[in-house]
Amino acid sequence: MNLFRFIKSVFFISTGIFLIWMTIQKIAFDDLKIALHQSLNWRLIPILLTSVMVVILRAKRWQLLLKTQEEAVSPFPLFHALNIGYLVNFAIPRLGEISRAFLLKNNQLIPFNKSIASIIFERLSDLIVLGFILISALVLEYFFNEGVVSHLIYSIQLNPFMLLIFSCFVAIIIGLMIQYWQKIKARIGIWAQEFIQYFSMLIRLKNRKKFILLTTGIWVGFYLMTMLWIFVFPVSTQLSFFACFEVMLVGVLARTLPIQAGSAGAYHFAVTSAFVYFGLPQNQALNMALMIHGFQSVLTIILGVFSYIWILYQQKNA
């Protein structure tokens, strides 16, 4: 499986580097300095508070899932585990989920399988919500006869060479999975049984209303983390709430790609294209994408480092 991970990492790292290079070519640094100066005002405070609140809601939802698995834990250590997980994901995508489970195992004595089951359950739940939002957006775009998601889909031109590379990549992944399947199956047999047991407990979640309420709050927070930016820059005040909804959607879709630094490059491309579609000039659209991504990246690093120091302090005084 090391070869599989290596090929996957090289593919997505190369994609990220290429998209970042494409983004850098379009940056007007004088305009970027002006945009940075404009963004440094009190209007960042609601965005900051919303971003932190989303992490708190995620910690509360995670606490609910662990409680369903008969594990009592305060949301405070879960908040710190989430921050560290985001920081790890920022450097190595998808490793953050593993680190979250290890942190709970080492600091809260929660079995690794239980943590992983709860993490996968919440990820699947968010994926279902994302799918529902995407379908809703496409339906609304059909009735409004316009929309950035449809525009991006139709504007993508498949390069035969890139299509060949992608097809080879998929074929290699399938081949490796077939080759190593028996070894994987033999190694994870007992682990898989325990995982299924813990995951089935989550499927029978009793407090579903609270789970749905917390999930709704998280996604409303995602929307506000994009929408509140239109009040930061004068040029973006023309954007409607629906436009912000669509920008949020393409941004979240870009962030699902396992690319380092919060899907840098892919996020900039998608969000810039969305802003341009809704009438912003190219330079200002790119500057807004850079500001939004940069703000969230800095906040991810600050919260991650803070939480890591807090956990070290707790371990030292244990």
Domain locations in the chain as residue ranges: 2-7+43-316
Q: Summarize pLDDT for 139-187 with one digit per residue, the tens.
A: 887 777 667 766 666 655 545 555 565 566 566 666 665 665 556 555 5
Per-residue model confidence (pLDDT) at position 223: 94
Cβ burial of 276 (10 Å; 0-12, 13-18, 19+) is: middle
Report d(CA 124, CA 58) in Å as an integer.
14
In one letter, which amino acid is 142?
A: Y
Q: What is the mean pLDDT of residues 200-207?
A: 73
Cα 153 to chain centroid distance, Å, stands at 21
Q: What is the pLDDT of residues 258-301, one digit of tens each?
A: 666 666 777 888 888 888 888 888 888 888 888 888 889 889 98
CB atoms within 10 A of CB 53: 16
Which stretch of 18-22, 42-46, 125-129, 131-135 has the lowest confidence by average pLDDT? 18-22
Question: Could you read off the pLDDT of 132-145 as tens digits, one per residue?
Answer: 888 888 888 777 76
Please report the pLDDT score of residue 169 as a whole number.
59
DSSP assignment of 303-316 equals: HHHHHHHHHHHHHH
pLDDT in tens, 82-123: 999 988 888 777 788 888 888 888 888 888 888 888 888 888
Flag whether pLDDT at 318 surpasses 60: yes
| Stated length of the chain | 318
| CA distances to 77, 225, 228, 259 from 43, in Å | 30, 12, 8, 29
* CA 237 – CA 239 distance, rounded (Å): 5
Per-residue pLDDT, 158:
46
**What is the percent of the chain with per-residue pLDDT over 70, rounded to a whole number?**
68
Reduced to 3 states (helix: H, G, I; strand: E, B; else coil), residue 111 is coil
Mean pLDDT of 42-63: 93
Q: What is the mean pLDDT of the chain?
A: 77
* pLDDT score of 62: 92
